[in-house]
């Protein structure tokens, strides 16, 4: 299916989710939803986030996949084009059970030895295309996640954890990406947000725009933001995204 109903059918605009379309882990505003619906009359739109689809639906709405032409969860390891699921690759198949077991055991031991003000549950979230590691545990409350983020800024819990993983698993070609507030993603090198670009190749877009807030080196938007085929836009907040969209496309 092509995009001939758009005024600019050969332009694709991709958005990061947290900090770009919504505040971190919170829901999309009516203003942003309406603007995207208008934008979709002009160009082709998609989202690409590190989170899995269930979290993205909490933020963008249960019908997230229908509101966008392309939906990319886990950097595009789970992907939809106009509501239809595209083929995906699997982290566990890539790494193998034996290596994964060693990695998971190391992570859980490391967290057991961490002295944090609080710990909750779900320290490793096993996803299709990556694992997500959270020292405090993913099922902490919203105030607890804000508190952990502040604590981490002072004590560098996550950067030190990532260093320990790099030192102990040098033979695994893994990337560790601190994209949110309480966790980091672990995936094979190359399975960053540029992974999603392979799903849009056959559409031969003349322009691909990307909006993200973590566009600095080390941020989880950096690779796609600096990709040679992509026009990158660095934003500070969803309000900033709205401002730039209005300037560029309306």
By CB under 6 A, name the binding residues for ligand M1P.
Answer: 17-18, 24-25, 49-51, 55, 132, 179-183, 185, 220
Distance CA 170, CA 99 (A): 12
Q: Is 34 a catalytic residue?
A: no
State the residue number with the nearest CB to ligand M1P: 180
Handedness of CA 170, 139, 219, 207 (dihedral sign): positive
| Selected catalytic residue, list 5, 10, 16, 113 | 16
What angle, 0 to 180 degrees and rounded to 10, lies between the N-to-C axes of helices 238-249 and 30-42? 30
List 18, 52, 69, 192, catalytic entry = 18
CB closer to ligand M1P out of 100 and 249: 100
Least Å distance, CB 10 to ligand M1P, is 28
Length of the chain, in residues: 250
3 vs 133, beta carbon nearer ligand M1P: 133
Nearer to ligand M1P, 11 or 22 (CB): 22
What DSSP letter does each residue of 156-186 carry, written as one string?
-HHHHHHHHHHHH-TTS-EEEE--SSS-EEE
3 state SS of 138: coil
User: CB-wise, 24 or 116, nearer to ligand M1P?
Assistant: 24
Cα–Cα distance between 233 and 227 in angstroms, integer?
12
Of 124, 129, 38, 121, the residue nearest 86 (C-alpha): 129
**CB of residue 206 vs ligand M1P: minimum separation in angstroms?**
28
Q: What is the DSSP letter of 187?
A: E
The answer to whether 192 is a known catalytic residue is no
The tokens for 40 are 């979709």
Q: What are 23's two structure tokens?
A: 């505040």
Rounded least distance, CB 179 to ligand M1P, Å = 3
Half-sphere exposure of 158 toward its Cβ, with a 13 Å CA cutoff? 25
As measured in angstroms, the least distance from the Cβ of 2 to ligand M1P is 30
How far apart are CB 183 and ligand M1P at their closest, in Å? 4
Token pair belonging to 63 = 């019908």
Instruction: Give the Cα separation of 59 and 151 in Å (integer).
Output: 25
- Closer of 161 and 205 to ligand M1P (Cβ): 161
CB 210 within 8 A of CB 245: no
Q: Would you name the residues annotated as active-site residues?
A: 16, 18
């Amino acid at each position: 299916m092509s995009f001939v109903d758009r005024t600019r059918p050969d332009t694709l605009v991709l958005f990061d989710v947290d900090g770009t379309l919504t505040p971190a882990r919170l829901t999309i505003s009516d203003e942003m939803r309406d603007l995207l619906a208008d934008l979709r009359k002009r160009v082709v739109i998609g989202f690409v986030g590190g989170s899995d689809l269930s979290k993205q639906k909490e933020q963008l709405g249960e019908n997230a996949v229908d509101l966008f032409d392309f939906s990319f969860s886990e950097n595009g390891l789970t992907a939809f084009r106009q509501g239809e699921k595209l083929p995906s690759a699997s982290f566990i198949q890539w790494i193998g059970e034996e290596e994964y077991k060693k990695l998971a055991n190391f992570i859980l031991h490391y967290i057991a030895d961490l002295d944090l003000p609080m710990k909750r549950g779900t320290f490793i979230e096993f996803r299709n295309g990556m694992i997500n590691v959270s020292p405090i545990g993913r099922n902490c409350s919203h105030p607890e996640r804000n508190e952990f983020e502040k604590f981490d800024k002072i004590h560098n819990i996550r950067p030190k954890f990532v260093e320990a993983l790099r030192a102990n698993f040098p033979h695994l070609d893994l990337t560790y990406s601190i994209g949110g507030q309480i966790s980091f993603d672990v995936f094979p090198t190359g399975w960053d947000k540029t992974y999603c670009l392979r799903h849009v190749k056959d559409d031969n877009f003349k322009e691909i725009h990307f909006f993200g807030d973590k566009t600095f080196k080390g941020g989880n938007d950096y690779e796609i933001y600096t990709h040679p085929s992509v026009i990158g836009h660095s934003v500070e907040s969803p309000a900033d995204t709205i401002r730039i969209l209005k300037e560029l496309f309306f």
